Amino acid sequence: MVISATDINIAHYIDHALLNPMATTKELEQCCHQVMQYNFPAVCVYPQAVKKATELLYNSSSKVATVIGFPTGATTSRTKLYEAQEAVENGAVELDIVINLSWLKEGKSEQIYQEIASICEETGQVIKAILETSRLTDREKRIAAEICMDAGVSFLKTSTGWFGGATVEDVKLLSEIAKGQVQIKASGGIRHLEQAIALINAGATRLGTSQGVELVKQQKGGVDEDK
């Protein structure tokens, strides 16, 4: 079944992201207000903003997500684990973790597995593995996805958005690999409703974007989609 813009509420798919490293507290407050206003599933912020976001979303059904090892994935496993544990202590319940891409390129599957599995086990939270698909071959995407699924992640996520964004082709591939065992989060460069719907039809169950409000307005006919 092909979903159209009239079949769903696009807001229910959006992880509303504020990942500008220069974002102010005022901007964080505005972002969290939007999350509650539109009932987005989650806000996604840097670790240093987790505690404040948790306070702002107190009693809200929306979750606080944060990024770990972002955006390169090149920090040590111990650093990622500490960063994840501290984020959980501060209120994060969803962790978007960038895998170690150099290990993937070098075929170090066991190291990737151990790194992700330890975070899954030690935190017990929803883990989204960021694969950075725009920098991988299809074979590497498959290997990375299978390792992360075995390690216990809840989501396979396409991208950080720093090195290219989500594509329909990559979401289809990840969805095919996942076979419904885990969910798919498309992230990076999602600005238009037509694009968002295409990603959902390809298999995405979450959309990571800073343009959540604009997507909702586009669905309601409130703005020009070419803006």
Q: Nearest Cα to 154, choosing from 68, 66, 95, 104?
A: 95
Residue 51 bears catalytic tag: no
Which one from 96, 128, 170, 217 is the annotated catalytic residue?
96
Angstrom distance (rounded) from CA 26 to CA 43: 15
Residue 185 bears catalytic tag: yes
Angstrom distance (rounded) from CA 33 to CA 108: 42
Residue 157 bears catalytic tag: yes
Any residues with CB less than 8 A from the CB of 117 and at least 6 apart, and which?
150, 151, 152
Which one from 63, 80, 185, 217 is the annotated catalytic residue?
185
Look at the chain and count its residues.
227
Which one from 128, 141, 157, 217 is the annotated catalytic residue?
157
Angstrom distance (rounded) from CA 100 to CA 105: 9
Q: Which residues are catalytic?
A: 96, 157, 185
